[in-house]
Amino acid sequence: MSEKKEIQGAASFDLGAFLTKYSMVIALVIVFILFYFLTGGRLLYAQNMSNLLLQNGYVLVMACGMLLCILTGGNIDLSVGSVICMVGGVAAVMINNMGVNIYLTILLCLVLGLAAGVWQGYWIGHVRIPPFITTLGGMFIFRGIGRLVLDSKTVPVQDAAFLNIFTAYIKIPGLDTDTRILSPLVVGILAVVVIFYTTISSRANKAKKGYRQNSAVTDFGRSALISAAVLAYCYLLSQYKGISVMLVWVVVICLIYHFITSKTAFGRYFYAVGGNEKATQLSGINTNKVYFIAYANMGLLAGLCGLLCLARVGSVNGSTGTSFEMDAIGSCFIGGASAYGGSGTIPGVIIGALLLGVINMGMSIMGIGDSWQYVVKGGVLLVAVIFDVVSNRKSGK
């Protein structure tokens, strides 16, 4: 009888751990199914699915940088929306009004975004001004600079070469024609091969080193579900215009930061600082440098987002980027980043951004106004943070 209770207890514990680990994935699936029925299936239209990532591309890019800031102790950067306005405004004026070469413009604008991040990183990392105060000041400063550059006007950009760098759709000769687009399916198949190869090699490496690992059913089942989602999405892309260059930018940025945070010693420094800064200092890590790099990096990514938003919309004004930082912060916390720092992953951030994106798109298709969208997004964010705080309290963290 006691053995039976122990087995049931173990099974219950495993179920609880599973629900905790994949809570946001389950929430994403539930929200997706809910809006699928509420929109009469329109959510799954090829054009809507293509736009889902394109409209939230800037969120994903910003969230990768915001995660590094949050990892250092729950810190955030309130200035990224203003940096987007400033960088986008400078790019628009240089291209449209001054006729500067687009490649030189892109380079200078990325340097400008990096400079804004370095400015804030210095005060936060070396002078130790609280990040909230520093970035709040930056939010006003950079927004003001952006409006001065734009002269309180809306500046359009119609340079086809610049727009194509960020918004064109990829056409592969031999695979894609005006009536047939096969490249997304080929990319999807290659992605599935990479997913299963990674799973197999990871299991083999862990077995060789004697590490504990999940059952084969768990690992390959997860890979099969991810592969099915990738193939379904690629199929929908093939029914619309194919793969956008902006999607490539987003995927590359996410992969780079996933590698940094999960596979490099430098990436682990951010987790260490958020977990216990004093212990990290005693171990010989320069925590001032970690803070500095986190915010300098955030400025660089905000600069890139300024260019992405300019190309996506085709113009920029003094209100561009307003509340963008909140979407990035929300994506991180909804995706499992701890409000106390020290934990969070890029895959979790992607889930959080997609969850917000599905909510926005679903409500837009239903004709629900922006006011209610803010209410729902705020509620989702609050629930995610409450879940994190309660979970940490129960685990004694």
pLDDT band of 391, cuts 50, 70, 90: low
Cβ neighbour number for residue 368 with a 10 Å cutoff:
16
What percent of the chain shows pLDDT beyond 90? 41
- Whether the pLDDT of residue 4 is over 70: the answer is no
pLDDT band of 2, cuts 50, 70, 90: very low
Q: How far apart are CA 191 and CA 247, in angstroms?
A: 14
Q: What are phi and psi of 343, to 5 degrees?
A: -150, 150
Q: Residues 91, 70, 377, CA angle at the centre, nearest 5°?
A: 75
Mean pLDDT of the chain: 86
Cβ neighbour number for residue 47 with a 10 Å cutoff:
12
User: What average pLDDT does range 18-34 have in this prediction?
Assistant: 79
pLDDT band of 1, cuts 50, 70, 90: very low
**More confident: 119 or 170:** 119
Q: What is the pLDDT of residue 295?
A: 96
pLDDT band of 393, cuts 50, 70, 90: low
Contact partners, residue 92, CB within 8 Å, separation at least 6: 150, 155, 156, 157, 310, 315, 316
The model's pLDDT over 126-181, given as tens digits with 9 standing for 90+, comes to 999 999 999 999 999 999 999 999 988 899 998 888 988 888 888 888 887 878 88
The model's pLDDT over 61-94, given as tens digits with 9 standing for 90+, comes to 999 999 999 999 889 999 999 999 999 999 999 9
Q: What is the pLDDT of residue 17?
A: 64
- Yes or no: say if 176 and 242 are a contact pair by the CB < 8 Å rule: yes
Highest mean pLDDT among 76-90, 356-370, 379-393: 76-90
The model's pLDDT over 310-336, given as tens digits with 9 standing for 90+, comes to 998 889 998 898 888 888 998 898 888
Q: What is the pLDDT of residue 370?
A: 76
Q: What are phi and psi of 221, to 5 degrees?
A: -65, -40
pLDDT band of 5, cuts 50, 70, 90: very low
Q: What is the pLDDT of residue 20?
A: 67
Q: What is the pLDDT of residue 342?
A: 85
The model's pLDDT over 299-313, given as tens digits with 9 standing for 90+, comes to 999 999 999 999 988
- Whether the pLDDT of residue 384 is over 70: the answer is yes
Q: How far apart are CA 103 and CA 100, in angstroms?
A: 9
- Whether the pLDDT of residue 375 is over 90: the answer is no
pLDDT band of 23, cuts 50, 70, 90: confident
pLDDT band of 14, cuts 50, 70, 90: low
Tokens describing residue 254: 């996410």
Distance of CA 304 to the CA centre of its chain: 13
Q: What is the pLDDT of residue 39?
A: 85
**More confident: 18 or 86:** 86
Q: What is the pLDDT of residue 135?
A: 95
Burial class (CB in 10 A: 0-12, 13-18, 19+), 43: buried
Q: What is the pLDDT of residue 368?
A: 83
Which of 10-24, 193-207, 294-308 is predicted least confidently?
A: 10-24
Residue type, 297: N
Find the DSSP H helices in the chain.
2-21, 23-38, 46-55, 57-71, 80-92, 102-125, 131-150, 160-167, 183-209, 216-238, 245-263, 265-275, 277-282, 287-313, 324-334, 346-365, 370-395
Which of 23-32, 289-298, 302-311 is predicted least confidently?
A: 23-32
Give the global pTM. Answer: 0.88
What percent of the chain shows pLDDT beyond 70? 93
